[in-house]
Amino acid sequence: MYGLVNKAIQDMVCSRFGEEIWKEIKQKAEVSVDVFISMEGYPDDITHKLVKAASVVLGLPSSDIMQAFGEFWVKYTSEEGYGEMMDMSGDNLPEFLENLDNLHARVGVSFPQLQPPSFECSEMGEDSLSLHYRSTREGLTPMIVGLVKGLGARFETEVDITQTQSRDDGAEHDEFLVKYKPH
């Protein structure tokens, strides 16, 4: 994963729990990188170790940390220079979700080794849709719940998201039912 992801994890932990907790997490994860470079690639293993260590240090399930990170990621990336690109990806939650693959394609210009997930919307109703998530990476599914909630906040939309099928249970891909209501 690119350093931007690990940098965001660091920022989330430091802003919520302080620098000392971050140092403790890094030590427990046996990660010796002092500064993550946003545009540099790092092994996925580093990210997984950081999340696992954060789970132990903070006494929270990894899935809760990944969900919180998903919410944080929306705000973080918009403040780290991707806000304009995000603005061009949709004026409301369903439109944005439909354009996620296009957004990743544009981001891929800056990050040539990006291996983005794929998102597809189906069964789009007036206030709900099915979000299909496909990724080559393991363990990031809880982050999708947080991302959708973070996007709900971005678009001032009340969101309820439920996972309806899981790769962990043998499905071909993960799927979520997203219900939404603009404020």
User: Does residue 56 surpass a pLDDT of 90?
Assistant: yes
Q: How confident is the model at residue 27 (pLDDT cuts 50, 70, 90)?
A: very high
User: Does residue 99 surpass a pLDDT of 90?
Assistant: yes
Q: How far apart are CA 164 and CA 83, in angstroms?
A: 30
Q: What percent of the chain has pLDDT over 70?
A: 100
Q: How far apart are CA 145 and CA 124, in angstroms?
A: 18
The first and second tokens of residue 35, run together, are: 């500064």
Segments making up each domain of the chain, as ranges: 3-60, 69-182
Cβ–Cβ under 8 Å, residues 163 and 142: no
State mean pLDDT over 62-82: 93
Q: Shortest CA distance to 152 belongs to which of 131, 136, 133, 138?
A: 131
Instruction: Tell me the pTM.
Output: 0.91
Cβ–Cβ under 8 Å, residues 134 and 117: yes
Cα–Cα distances (Å) from 169 to 96, 114, 137, 140, 172, in that order, read: 28, 27, 16, 15, 9
**Per-residue DSSP letter, 166:** -
Q: How confident is the model at residue 139 (pLDDT cuts 50, 70, 90)?
A: confident
User: Does residue 161 surpass a pLDDT of 90?
Assistant: yes
User: Does residue 1 surpass a pLDDT of 90?
Assistant: no
69-182, CATH topology level: H-NOX domain (3.90.1520)
